[in-house]
Amino acid sequence: MSFTEPAGRQGSAEFRWAQDGSEPWLAQAASIDTDVAQYFLVSARCGCFMQAARSLNVRSTLLRKQLAQLEQELQHTLFSFQGSVLSLTREGQQLQAKLTALAHERKLPVVEQPLIRLAVAESILHDILGRDLIALLRRNASVRLEIIALDSELSLRAVSADVVLWLAPGDSPSPGPSFATHQPQRLACLDYLPHIAKRYSRVTARPDIPDDLADFMLVQWQHDRQFDSFRPWNEVVEQRLAGVVQMQSYELMLEMIRCSACIGLLPMYMSRYDRGLVALPGLFEQPMQLNAWLAVNADSQNVSEVQTLIELIHHTFNERQEWFQP
């Protein structure tokens, strides 16, 4: 038996949709703007407008405005809150199913994000840059970022990255990256002093001269042995026959100082980063310093994501300028 559409309904989209069991209003799904459709699908999948905005790298206010306009155009409520949980209404579920089917039919490609590689000195990553990098990822969940911790001159020379942030003694950025970069920029001069946890050291009993260190356990991060500018400290550690711990992990060294009554060499800003630590000035006459340098791969200079990362680094260091005052 053949089927003929009633007169006056030939070619009617609403009638065809009704025949396959769909709601007539869903006929508008195919004409929804691609970005708005993606806003809806990602919000439905995440169950959270804020997380959806992060994933799409758009402002949450823009996302919610577009979805509100979509509800007005379709004349249906698509989302509802049950307590604090965002969920789809019946119409929202229908639209999700239809848009998902349309996306499969169109085979829309995933928009690939460029891979940005950041190589950064481990201590700077931990103490200075870490929180702002986390904030960047919190705002933009679609970014592709590879973070490489630099813990030696060898790792610096061997690395290939778009942005490099490293420490070097003296006024020269050498040793620096082995690949072509734009002119390196000096971001800060870092002074270093021995530190101890306040709770393990009374003011009257703190060491004043190198000989006083004999009564304390010393802890050294192996990375610091390579710097000639740290010679006063390194010589004291190397002469030790007992009461010394050397380790590869920067974070574990910090924990040793915080929790084991050890004395270790740290940047002078550390007492601002951790109020439980106190610097021990006057132990060595010779200043111990390193400079923080920033360089950008010559091939990556104009990539917008690289520029965003550079701006973040500059903002972070500018915001903490008082940390680096002698």
- Kindly give the confidence (pLDDT) of every residue in the chain, 326 residues in length, as a single tens digit, with 9 standing for 90 and above: 333 333 343 344 333 333 344 578 888 888 888 889 989 999 998 888 988 888 888 888 999 999 999 999 999 999 998 877 888 999 999 999 888 888 776 655 556 788 999 999 999 999 999 999 998 888 887 788 999 999 888 888 888 999 999 999 988 898 888 888 989 999 999 999 999 998 877 766 788 888 889 889 999 999 999 899 999 999 999 999 999 999 999 999 999 999 988 999 999 999 999 999 999 998 999 999 999 999 999 999 889 899 999 999 999 999 999 999 87
Same domain for 214 and 322, yes or no, is yes
Same domain for 72 and 159, yes or no, is no
**What pTM does this model have?**
0.69
Question: Domain boundary residue among 76, 106, 136?
Answer: 106
Same domain for 150 and 77, yes or no, is no
Give the pLDDT of residue 5.
37
Question: Domain boundary residue among 53, 83, 106?
Answer: 106
Give the pLDDT of residue 121.
95
Q: Which residues contact 199 (CB under 8 A, 6 or more apart)?
A: 276
Same domain for 257 and 318, yes or no, is yes
**How far is residue 24 from each of residues 12, 99, 101, 130, 149, measured CA to CA in Å?**
10, 15, 16, 52, 56
Question: Domain boundary residue among 78, 106, 134?
Answer: 106
Among 109, 111, 166, 120, residue whose Cα is nearest residue 143 = 111
Considering the domain boundaries, does residue 81 fall inside one?
A: yes
Considering the domain boundaries, does residue 4 fall inside one?
A: no
Decide if 233 contacts 244 (C-beta within 8 A).
no
Q: Which residues constitute the domain of residue 287? A: 116-326
Q: Cα separation of 132 and 219, whole Å?
A: 29
Same domain for 290 and 141, yes or no, is yes
Same domain for 96 and 131, yes or no, is no
Same domain for 204 and 242, yes or no, is yes
Give the pLDDT of residue 106.
61
Same domain for 137 and 205, yes or no, is yes
CATH number of domain containing 98: 1.10.10.10
Considering the domain boundaries, does residue 8 fall inside one?
A: no
Considering the domain boundaries, does residue 214 fall inside one?
A: yes
Considering the domain boundaries, does residue 6 fall inside one?
A: no
Q: How many domains are contained in the chain?
A: 2
The residue type found at 7 is A
Same domain for 132 and 81, yes or no, is no
CATH number of domain containing 151: 3.40.190.290
Considering the domain boundaries, does residue 163 fall inside one?
A: yes
Give the pLDDT of residue 3.
33
Same domain for 235 and 90, yes or no, is no
Among 189, 195, 169, 164, residue whose Cα is nearest residue 273 = 195
Give the pLDDT of residue 6.
39
Same domain for 99 and 201, yes or no, is no
Burial group, residue 83, by CB count within 10 angstroms (0-12, 13-18, 19+): exposed
Considering the domain boundaries, does residue 192 fall inside one?
A: yes
Considering the domain boundaries, does residue 5 fall inside one?
A: no
Give the pLDDT of residue 22.
59
Handedness of CA 53, 58, 61, 64 (dihedral sign): negative
Same domain for 36 and 148, yes or no, is no
